[in-house]
Amino acid sequence: MSDYFNKTHTWGRIWTAAALAIFLCIPVAISVHFNAWPKAEYFFKGLAAVAVIFYPTAVIEVISYAPLLGAAGTYLSFVTGNIANLKLPCTISALETTGYSATEEEGEVISTIAVAVSSIVTTVIIALGVLLMSVTGFITSITSPDSPLYPAFQQILPCLFGAIGAGYFYKHYKLAVAPLAVILIVLAINGGIQTGILIVIGVVTALLATHLMYKGGLLTKKDGGFDE
**Residues between 54 and 73 that touch another protein (CB under 8 A):** 54-55, 58-59, 61-63, 66-68, 71-72
| Residue 195 engages another protein in binding (rule: CB under 8 A) | yes
| Residue 218 engages another protein in binding (rule: CB under 8 A) | no
Phi-psi region of 165 (alpha: psi -120 to 50; beta: other; left: phi over 0): alpha
Per CB under 8 A, the list member of 135, 188, 216, 217 interacting with another protein is 188
Radius of gyration of the chain (CA): 21
Name the residue among 85, 80, 98, 82 with its Cα closest to residue 160: 85
Name the residue among 87, 113, 84, 120 with its Cα closest to residue 98: 113
| Residue 212 engages another protein in binding (rule: CB under 8 A) | no
Orientation of helix 195-215 relative to helix 173-189, angle to 10°: 140
| Residue 130 engages another protein in binding (rule: CB under 8 A) | yes
Question: Hey, which residues between 67 and 126 contact another protein (CB under 8 A)?
Answer: 67-68, 71-72, 74-76, 78-82, 84-86, 88-90, 92-98, 101-103, 105-106, 108-110, 112-126
Cβ neighbours of 215 (radius 10 Å): 9
| Residue 184 engages another protein in binding (rule: CB under 8 A) | yes
Orientation of helix 40-69 relative to helix 71-80, angle to 10°: 150
Q: Which residues contact 187 (CB under 8 A, 6 or more apart)?
A: 193, 198
Q: How far is the CB of 146 from another protein (least distance, A)?
A: 12
Residue 125 carries which side chain, given as an amino acid letter? I
Q: How far is the CB of 174 from another protein (least distance, A)?
A: 10
| Residue 24 engages another protein in binding (rule: CB under 8 A) | yes
Phi-psi region of 35 (alpha: psi -120 to 50; beta: other; left: phi over 0): left
| Residue 217 engages another protein in binding (rule: CB under 8 A) | no
Q: How far is the CB of 52 from another protein (least distance, A)?
A: 10
Q: How far is the CB of 83 from another protein (least distance, A)?
A: 8
Per CB under 8 A, the list member of 135, 136, 146, 165 interacting with another protein is 165
| Residue 135 engages another protein in binding (rule: CB under 8 A) | no
| Residue 22 engages another protein in binding (rule: CB under 8 A) | yes
